[in-house]
Structure 1
C-alpha cells in the first residue's frame, strides 16, 4: 500500500514537473514571439507590393526578398493569425521603414494603409504644363503620353471638349497602379463641382452667359493676378470692360495665343496680329480658357469687387501688386511710374 502511494506521488511529481516545464517553455515561446512582433525590421528596399491573389506565404517570400530576415516563417504565420491578418492582406504597395515592427507592418497590410504619392496641379498651369508634370510623376502609369488632347478628352469620357481649364488645381493623392487618367478624372470632376458652385453663387448682372464663360474669365484672372488678394479687383476691371464693350487687352491671352514659341517677350507684332486669343484686336472673352484657374479665381470671377477701375498696371516693387485706375489719364501716369521704377531697378542691377 505504501509502495502504491509512493508511486502515485512520483507520478504526480513528474506530472507537476512536466506542467512546470511546459508552462516555462510556453512562457519562453510567448516571450520570443512578443519580442519578434515588436522588434523593428531591417529591410534593404523601401517598399513591398501585395498583388491580387497573393497568399500569405507569397507575401512573406516578398518580404524575405526585400531583406526582411527577422523571425522564422512560423512566427510570421502565428502573428498573422493572432492579428486576423492571414488571408486578409489588402492589395497595394506598403512602405518598409526601418523603425517598422512586424506587428505594425501586418496591421498596415490588413487595414490597407498603402504607400501614397502626391501630385500638385498648380494654379495657372496650362494643359501642356499639366501633361508634362503627369509624364514626370512616378510611379504613376502613363497611359496618355502618346495621346493628343482630343484623344485624351475622349478617353476621359468628354469627347469634343477642349481640355484647357478643365482640371482643378489641387494636390491629388495616388498609389502605385494608378494612372494619369485616374488623376485627370478626379481633377476634372473636382473642377466641374467647383465651377458649378461658383456659377450658382455668382453675383447678379454678370456679362457671362454660361459656366464655361465664367471658367474662361477665371483663367484670365488667374494669369493676371500676382497678388492673391487682388483677384476680386482684377475680376471687377474685366467685368466692367465686358459690360462696356471694351477690349480686355490682357497680355496673358497674347502669350497663350503664341503658344510654345513664346520666348518671354511680347512684341508689337504680337499685339497687332489678329488671332482668336488676341484681346487687343478682339472684344469679349477668348474662345477657351487659357489656364487652369483655382477656386479663388473662380470665386473672383463669380463675385468681382465693386468699383470704377477700368485699368491696372503692375507697381513694379516685386510684390505682384497693381495700381488700379478709373481713367486712361490716371492709367498713363501709373504706367509711367512703373516704367521709371523698372529702369531704376535695371540701373541698380548693373555692376558699377
Structure 2
C-alpha cells in the first residue's frame, strides 16, 4: 500500500507555496513601484529641460522663489509631477534662487537646472529690473543687496552724486526705469551711470520737442512733474490728462494738492494712510501747503510719463479723483468734482460691504 503524507508534511508544503506567492507578489510590487518611480523621475527631475536650439537664456528675477518657478514650469507643461521637484529642492538644495541670466544647454536635465540657479556664480548676466514709480532709494538698496553687483559706491547720496558727476543735489528721478541686462560683476557705479545717462537722454529729447507755453522754468522741473504724473496714474491713456490738470493748475496759481508728494515728504513716517494732520503739516513736498512744484522728483518716471509732462492734454479739467473701478474721473468745476468724490466713496463703501 502507498504511504499517505502526514498532515504536518501537507501543512509544510502549503506553507512553502504560500510563502512563495507572497515573495512573488512582493517582487511584482517592487517592480511596479520601480517602474512608476522611474517614469515619475523621467518626467520630472531627469526630464530634459526644454531648450530651443543648442542653448537658451534663462532669466531669474529678484525675489523669485523655487516654488513659483516650479509651478510655472508645470503650468507651461514643461514638466510633470511638480511636487517631486519641490521635494528634491527641499532635501537636496539648501539655498534660494539667485537672480541672474543663466545659460541652459540642450540636454541638461531639470535637476541640473534647479541646481544651477541656486548658485549666483553660475549666472552669465545680471538682470536688473527698475520699475517706473519706484524711488532712487529702492534702486540703491536693490543694487546693494544684489550679489552679482560689485559694490564700489558708498551709501550716502552726496557721495554717489559726486562719483557719478551729477549736476543736481538729489538722486530722485534721475535713473531710467526699464529691464536691463548687465555683465556679472559690473559695478554699481557703472550701472547707475548707464541708467542716469539713459534718463538724461530721454529727458533732453522730450524737452527739445515740448509744447509751447509750459509752466516749467527748466527741464528739471519737467522731470519733477513727470514723477508726479507717474505716481498719480498707472493707466497709460490718462498720463496726458493728469499732466493737463497739473499744468493748468500751475498756470492758474492753484496748488497741486496731490497725495503722492505728501507721502514722499513723510518718508518713513508714512504707514499706508494719509491723515488730515499729515495734509496740514507743512513739508517741502506737501503740495497742499506749498505753491508750485516740490523741490525734486518724487519717483523714477518712465519715458511715457516724461513725454506726457511735455505734452499735456487740451481739456478744461482741473480736478480728478479715482473712480474706484480703475482709472479716474476728470472734472472742470469743484461742484462736478465733489459729485465725483461722492460717487467714489459710494463705490468703496459698496465694495467694503461685499467683502
| TM-score for the superposition, normalised by structure 2 | 0.65
How big is the shift at 1:115? 2.3
Aligned to 1:282, the other structure's residue is in SS state: coil
Q: 299, 303, 306: which one pairs with 1:295?
A: 303
Question: Which residue is equivalent to 1:175?
Answer: 183
Tell me if structure 2 keeps the 8 A contact 1:119–1:137. Answer: no
How big is the shift at 1:332? 0.2
Higher mean alpha-carbon deviation, 151-160 vs 161-170, is at 151-160
Answer yes or no: is 1:161 the counterpart of 2:169. yes
Question: Which residue is equivalent to 2:149?
Answer: 140
Gaps of 5+ in 1: 1-39, 42-92, 101-113
Question: Which residue is equivalent to 2:130?
Answer: 121
How big is the shift at 1:236? 0.2
How many residue pairs are counted as aligned between the two chains? 243
| TM-score for the superposition, normalised by structure 1 | 0.66
Tell me if structure 2 keeps the 8 A contact 1:120–1:170. Answer: yes
Question: Which residue is equivalent to 1:44?
Answer: none
Question: Which residue is equivalent to 1:324?
Answer: 330
How big is the shift at 1:231? 0.2
Structure exhibiting the larger radius of gyration computed from Cα positions = 1
Aligned to 1:162, the other structure's residue is in SS state: coil
Distance 1:228 1:323 in 2: 15
Distance 2:147 2:316 in 1: 49
Q: 269, 272, 285: which one pairs with 1:264?
A: 272
Write out aligned runs for 1:1-352 (5 A): 95=103, 97=105, 99=107, 115-144=124-153, 146-158=154-166, 161-317=169-325, 319=326, 321-349=327-355
How big is the shift at 1:163? 0.3
How big is the shift at 1:158? 2.0
Aligned to 2:330, the other structure's residue is in SS state: strand
Distance 1:284 1:226 in 2: 23
How big is the shift at 1:172? 1.6
Question: Which residue is equivalent to 2:81?
Answer: none
How big is the shift at 1:139? 1.1
